[in-house]
Amino acid sequence: MKDYEIKVDDETSSLLEAIAEAEDDPLMIAELAQLDPTEFRKFISECGEVDDRYAIQLLKAAESLKQGAIERKNVKDHQRERDESVSRRLPNQSTISRRMEPSPFRLMIILYLGLGLSLAYCLLGTALLFYLGGKSEDQLFFVAYTTSFKTIFSLGLILGTALIAFRSQNVVPDTIEAAFTQTQLSETDYYINKQKFYSLKRSISLSVEFILVGFVIFSYCQFPLSRPGEVLMLIAACTEYALGLYVIRKLIYTGMMLHSLLRVPITRNLFKNRELDPVVPYVLVVSTLTVIFVCVNVLGYYGGPFLYGSILGQSIKIFLLLPALIGIPTLLILSFYPRAVLRKVYDQSIDVEIERLKEAMQNEALSAYEKRSYLMEFDKKSHDELNASLKWLLLEALPTWITILITVLGPFLGK
């Protein structure tokens, strides 16, 4: 009898070695050999080994593996159908993204529009005073508006900021309502805060109150102008106070709407597509521009050449710091609070994704150690990515801090 040498390629050799190390475990052998139960049943029937105990064990193992694969596919299909169902109930993400993220050039144009309106007010006021009182009156007003009190910049900045806050005010509600269902949000104070956020009555009433506050302060400070010129400066200064409060009110209720999300039960992975991120640019842009306005406003009026001829004298001067005293603490909190909310919501989203992976891996032919290692690696990578993105948010708010320091220290360093 002759001996025949059979050449085996590396892949087949590795497979045979793995089968040899399987220690007659039918499940491992069936998985390694990728046995199809239908074809294997036909094979043992043709070979007359239908009653062989080992063949039956191997067949059952192959059937078990096939059933497990079918169940995993069903889990994935169910997850995909659930995600598609949620997506159908929510607004189209691409449409929402376009609506929520206006072009930075558009924001610049709106800001420049505010500065242009301030310049137009200056020119109209100058023309009016020239018509009423002659050349000297309009020159005094022009110098006071542009140089002495820097009103042309402070009014322009707050006009532009208020226009940006108004034109982009749908960013926060649209982002939140795209990420959560109405049922989830109805369990919180979100809709109450949203109603207050959009309330025109509240905006007008609070702005009127601050117009009165500004009128009292600037009337006692006394602009160094004739009565018509003083009236024009009072209108501009009081408008700054009113618009400043309007913007701060918008930011406060933005923070309140975000705060309500901490009570929402997270049921899906919001971190994967960063679904709440569009809120952050809105808050950072509006809060940064508002802080810059506060800086220019305080530097312009606190160091301005008021007459201080009223009964209160220069003691009224301290009240010119009111925008900084009100604005700085509010803007300080609101510049960083979205980061805290996003961290908690995204942390919970990662936990939800881990639970989903655990469920999907139940029928996987992996050891408990392998499953645990995979989940730990996924958790680590996700949180590292989250921390990195939130660090950038912290750096983006840095200019706000620098401007705040200038605002606080500027009037005193300039003495």
- Residues 321, 297 contacting (CB under 8 angstroms): no
Report CA Rg, the chain: 34
Q: How far apart, in whole angstroms, are the C-alpha atoms of residue 352 and residue 387?
A: 18
The 8-class DSSP code of residue 36 comes to -
Return the domain boundaries, the chain: 16-73, 103-360+370-413
- Residues 308, 314 contacting (CB under 8 angstroms): yes
Other C-beta atoms closer than 10 Å to the C-beta of 20 total: 10
Full pLDDT tens readout for the chain, 415 residues: 445 455 545 555 554 555 555 556 666 666 656 667 777 677 667 676 666 666 666 667 667 666 666 655 655 555 555 544 444 444 444 444 444 455 777 888 999 999 999 999 999 999 998 888 767 888 899 999 999 999 999 999 999 999 999 988 898 899 999 888 888 898 889 999 999 999 999 999 999 999 999 999 999 999 999 889 999 999 999 999 999 999 999 999 999 999 999 888 888 888 888 888 888 888 888 888 888 898 889 889 988 899 988 888 889 999 998 888 888 888 877 777 888 888 888 888 888 888 887 777 776 666 676 667 777 777 777 777 777 766 665 555 555 556 555 555 555 544 4
What is the reported pTM? 0.70
Q: How far apart, in whole angstroms, are the C-alpha atoms of residue 274 and residue 345?
A: 11
How far, in whole angstroms, is CA 11 from its chain's centroid? 51
Residue with tokens 């691409």: 94
Q: How far apart, in whole angstroms, are the C-alpha atoms of residue 144 and residue 134?
A: 16
Q: What secondary structure does DSSP assign to 341-395, as a single string?
A: HHHHHHHHHHHHHHHHHHHHTTTSS--HHHHHHHHHHHHHHHHHHHHHHHHHHHH
The 8-class DSSP code of residue 48 comes to T
